[in-house]
Structure 1
Amino acid sequence: MAIEKTLGKLAPLVLALALAGCGGDTSVSALPQPDETTTQQQAALASLNEATSGKLDALLAIRAAHRDGDAGRLVEALSREFIGTPYRDGMLEGSATTPERLVIDFSGLDCFTYLDYVEAARTATTRTDYASRLVRTRYVNGDIGFGQRRHFFTDWAARPQVLADDVTASISARAATVTKQLNRKADGGAYLPGLPVVQRDVVHIPGEFVDDYVVSRLRTGDFIGIYAKADGLDVTHVGFFVETRDGPMLRNASSKKANMKVVDSPFLEYVKSTPGIVVLRPRA
């Protein structure tokens, strides 16, 4: 009788546990599911081509061996790994009407993905960490989506999470500020259909004022944007400022017919023929 009374008392508890799903349910639906960002990161890493896989390991090794805390020297070493990589436009996938997919592919670079890949490697420690940092570099708040992609160079200093500081005004007293309507074409259309027009003050140093003094104020690892005259764009090209044995260079994924790859271009020679530069400095 005592046993029956005990079982009677336990019956409601057993029923409650069963209804609550606490009876050892190990079905897939009961397990925590990865979010979309994690799923995309895993898929991107799983689909790396051979060249990208090998280079990613090399970048992580460079990062692991770098212990002196000099961000500029690290950027120089990481960016040097890509010299000679073919220039290739349109490597990313996504639009206002097509779902965005995280792409990690070092077999070809445009000038902006080059910056993405190096900046993500600057603080990454593992492959998984690299994918996570690339997402936070390429997308505002680490939210994978065409609308959240940092399409404009100055997004790096203006949109969260901030990646770099705009130091252009501190580099030269000749720096000028122009209020732009980013993404708006002269005819009223959009450079990037489906995205809004963004008003932003863009500071630049006109090309004729970029001289030896300005170069002396730059640091290896600075992000350099070539200022755009068009009202709807902030820059037309980007690269890294690096000091080399051959002098100051703009290390960039060049689309010039004579190059079509990542090269070092003599800095002053390159910049003097442009409308000017925008300078962003990576955060430590």
Structure 2
Amino acid sequence: MKNYSQIILLIFIVVQITFAQVFSDKDISECKSRFTFAIEKNLSQKPIGDVIAEVGKTFLNTPYEAHTLEVTDTEQLVINFSGLDCTTFLETTFSLARCIKQNKTSFEDFRNELQLIRYRDGKINDYTSRLHYFSDWIYHNTNKGLIKDVTKEIGGKPINFKVNFMSENPHLYKHLKSNPEFVNEIKKQEQEINSRQYHYIPENEIAKVESKIRNGDLIALTTSDKGLDIGHVGIAVKMADGKIHFMHAPMVGSKVQISEDSISGYVKKIKKHTGIIVLRANEI
């Protein structure tokens, strides 16, 4: 009986150490503060797009931090409220908003939502179970019923991606470099993406459809970078000037911010951006 208790204690300690590697007490506190904010503002009664926009604003001035999901040797659910890249900013905000709309406001609720959104079928198996390419993220989260791709209905044009960057450059990815057997699975995922048709709004046509983009829509920026699909992501925010601006975590050395220009102006300023995909969170 004594040995059994010692084994249970050891398992508990190992679990605590594992969890400590992927989130901190500060992350738990930051998560709870967003839920408190939501309750005080009665956000659960607002449309989910407005909830996304309001929660996103609570991250303004949060530092950009690259490679936050690559801190462990095995694939785990990494949470970091103190440093965000463009995708983790979007995922964290979207997860919090979905929790708020469902009146599920514990840290465990948030973790469950984040895992559902970030991973293929919402399950963590290994590195290849994470939705690495954002076009794949769109496809799977649409199939989960979490979002709707409204790009086509607001005037989008067909686009087919030719992704291969990850499989062609495994040395740039910590987990592919240390686990070369994952590369073939990544190749299969790339082939699946390349077989699908998506829609996008070309950069010169964004201004024409701006009135159809809603506050809190999730925005993916298509790119001309070879082997890639999406170069950047963020959140649409309707500002006092009546125009849609872009809330995002832009680059190393910068912080979460809202673009000074409208979204059409922002996209045109960066050469590699070719247009946008507009995603709308489904109401809960």
Per the TM superposition, whether the score is higher than 0.5 is yes
Amino acid at match of 1:166: D
Corresponding residue for 2:93? Answer: 118
> Tell me, what secondary structure is at the counterpart of 2:121?
helix
Amino acid at match of 1:220: N
Say what the alpha-carbon RMSD is for the aligned residues. 3.1
User: Is 2:24 aligned against 1:48?
Assistant: yes
Corresponding residue for 1:282? Answer: 281
Greater fraction helix: 2
Deviations 1:171-215 (A, max 9, x none): 11xx22222232347x9556764222232323211101111x311
Corresponding residue for 1:155? Answer: 136
Does the 8 Å CA contact 2:65/2:83 hold for their aligned counterparts?
yes
Aligned residue pairs, count? 246
Whole-angstrom distance in 2 between the partners of 1:73 and 1:111: 19
CA deviation after TM superposition for structure 1 residue 276, in Å = 0.7
Alignment of 1:130-145 (within 5 A): 130-144=110-124, 145=126
CA deviation after TM superposition for structure 1 residue 68, in Å = 2.1
Does the 8 Å CA contact 1:156/1:163 hold for their aligned counterparts?
no
Alignment of 1:227-266 (within 5 A): 227-230=222-225, 232-246=227-241, 247-255=243-251, 260-265=254-259, 266=261
Q: Tell me, which stretches of 5 or more residues in structure 2 are unaligned?
A: 100-104, 177-182
User: Is 2:198 aligned against 1:202?
Assistant: yes
Cα 1:148–1:94 shift into 2, 3 Å? farther
Deviations 1:125-178 (A, max 9, x none): 211111111111111122223111111222233125353221111111xx2222
Does the 8 Å CA contact 2:203/2:264 hold for their aligned counterparts?
no
Does the 8 Å CA contact 2:66/2:252 hold for their aligned counterparts?
no
Amino acid at match of 2:114: L
Does the 8 Å CA contact 2:213/2:244 hold for their aligned counterparts?
no
Does the 8 Å CA contact 2:28/2:107 hold for their aligned counterparts?
no
Runs of 4+ in 1 over 4 A off after TM superposition: 26-31, 39-42, 44-47, 187-193
User: Is 2:151 aligned against 1:168?
Assistant: yes
User: Is 2:143 aligned against 1:146?
Assistant: no
Amino acid at match of 2:119: Y
Pick the structure with greater CA Rg. 1
Does the 8 Å CA contact 1:111/1:254 hold for their aligned counterparts?
yes
Does the 8 Å CA contact 2:64/2:252 hold for their aligned counterparts?
no
User: Is 2:162 aligned against 1:181?
Assistant: yes
Whole-angstrom distance in 1 between the partners of 2:206 and 2:229: 18
Amino acid at match of 2:96: A
> Tell me, what secondary structure is at the counterpart of 2:197?
strand
Amino acid at match of 2:224: K
Out of 221-230 and 62-71, give the one that drifted further: 62-71
Whole-angstrom distance in 2 between the partners of 1:99 and 1:153: 21
Corresponding residue for 2:63? Answer: 86
Whole-angstrom distance in 2 between the partners of 1:155 and 1:77: 26
Cα 1:225–1:206 shift into 2, 3 Å? same
Cα 1:43–1:202 shift into 2, 3 Å? same
Amino acid at match of 1:73: D
TM-score normalised according to structure 2 size: 0.76
Whole-angstrom distance in 1 between the partners of 2:17 and 2:209: 40
Amino acid at match of 1:71: I
Amino acid at match of 1:138: R
Cα 1:222–1:166 shift into 2, 3 Å? same
Does the 8 Å CA contact 1:180/1:233 hold for their aligned counterparts?
yes
Q: Tell me, which stretches of 5 or more residues in structure 1 are unaligned?
A: 1-23
Cα 1:45–1:55 shift into 2, 3 Å? farther
Corresponding residue for 1:108? Answer: 83
Out of 193-202 and 234-243, give the one that drifted further: 193-202
TM-score normalised according to structure 1 size: 0.76
